[in-house]
Amino acid sequence: MENGISIACGPNVDDYHWMEVLMREAGPFFDGISLHHYALASYWEDKRPAIGFPENEWFSLIESALKMDELISKHSTIMDQYDPGKRIGLIVDEWGSWLAVEPHTNPGFLYQQNTIRDAIVASLTLNIFHRHADRIHMANIAQMVNVLQAMVLTKNEKMIKTPTYHVFDLYKNHMEAQRVDTSSILSKHTDFTVSKKENLLTISLCNYDLAAADDVIFDIRDSEIVSISAESLIGTAMDQHNSFDLPDNLTKQLFNDYILNNQNELVVTIPPMSVISLYVTLG
């Protein structure tokens, strides 16, 4: 396509045979291939509530979101056979939580609430994309306004920011940065990503345990830490969310539960049900 790119219709979630045939037969003719994956709390025909859900559905939705890593890894392995130079991008053009619509809304409009659980889904998914940045050329959350895992919800002249909006805000410093390779031993419910842009190191973490905080120690070598600032999104209930009556019930806050030792060891205590970003200026 002159002055543009061509994107092929990709596989239905884990249809690896589709990816194999398309890459083998038509790989030279397109620049990207699409992939969809939605996080579900149950199975497709049984959309579960966005608020007022039981504890097991906190974890079932998150486990469904984490399947994104397996999908990208397996599809990328196939793509690597036919495109080792990674010219073709994997385009995750629809992702996010798909839950039950809110009562008394048009079911065709897919209007759902957005909680700290959705914020965790966003954080974990963005971390996965960062780990596969060599193959993921583009990734779009499915909808922005009033549909599925939206950034904002509107009602007449009113608009509220969802917890998912605040996660994207917490992650904005990763844009145009270089992912930093790390080695780590983490607890089961903790995840993070690190990137560097000039002398700014951005560390974004999440803890999806429902009760326990977690300490993570970063050993930052070959550089001296000059300054640190941090922001957080911390839930106090599994379904904490914003509403038109309480638009700032869950919003971004300053965070200071970290310790710096010897100018290069950073110890961060991550609360349960939280997403944290630290902005570390290096000397």
Q: 73-99, pLDDT tens digit by residue?
A: 999 999 999 999 999 999 999 999 999
Helix axes of 16-26 and 55-82: crossing angle, nearest 10 degrees: 20
Instruction: Quote the pLDDT of residue 3.
Output: 66
User: Does domain 179-282 fall into CATH 3.20.20.70?
Assistant: no
CATH architecture of 7-175: Alpha-Beta Barrel (3.20)
Cβ count near 193 (within 10 Å): 24
The chain-wide mean pLDDT, for the chain, equals 95
Instruction: Quote the pLDDT of residue 65.
Output: 98
Q: Identify which of 34, 30, 50 has the alpha carbon closest to the alpha carbon of residue 42.
A: 50
Out of 7-11, 55-59, 237-241, which region has the weakest mean confidence (pLDDT)?
7-11
The three-state secondary structure class of 140 is strand
Between residues 162 and 183, the one the model is more confident about: 162
Is pLDDT above 90 for 145?
A: yes
For residues 141 and 122, is the Cβ–Cβ distance under 8 A?
yes
Instruction: Quote the pLDDT of residue 276.
Output: 99
Q: Where are the domains of the chain?
A: 7-175, 179-282
For residues 194 and 203, is the Cβ–Cβ distance under 8 A?
yes
Instruction: Quote the pLDDT of residue 230.
Output: 98
Is pLDDT above 60 for 1?
A: no
Instruction: Quote the pLDDT of residue 52.
Output: 97
The three-state secondary structure class of 259 is strand
Q: Which two tokens stand for residue 2?
A: 């002159």
Instruction: Quote the pLDDT of residue 223.
Output: 85
Q: What is the DSSP string of 112-138?
A: ---BHHHHHHHHHHHHHHHHTTTTEEE
For residues 161 and 242, is the Cβ–Cβ distance under 8 A?
yes
Confidence tier at 2 by pLDDT (50, 70, 90)? low
Instruction: Quote the pLDDT of residue 222.
Output: 82
Separation between Cα atoms, residue 245 and residue 256, nearest integer Å: 29
Instruction: Quote the pLDDT of residue 185.
Output: 74
Question: Which residues are paired to 232 by β-bridges?
Answer: 253, 276
Cβ count near 165 (within 10 Å): 22
Confidence tier at 283 by pLDDT (50, 70, 90)? confident
Q: Which two tokens stand for residue 118?
A: 């959705």
For residues 90 and 133, is the Cβ–Cβ distance under 8 A?
no
Q: What average pLDDT does range 253-264 have in this prediction?
A: 92
- pLDDT single digits (tens) 7-35: 999 999 999 999 999 999 999 999 999 99
Strands 32-39 and 89-97: parallel
The three-state secondary structure class of 143 is coil
Instruction: Quote the pLDDT of residue 4.
Output: 82
- pLDDT single digits (tens) 196-221: 999 999 999 999 999 999 999 999 88
Q: What average pLDDT does range 164-191 have in this prediction?
A: 92
230-to-89, 125, 194, 269, 276 alpha-carbon distances in Å? 33, 21, 14, 12, 7
Q: What average pLDDT does range 143-151 have in this prediction?
A: 96
pTM here is: 0.95
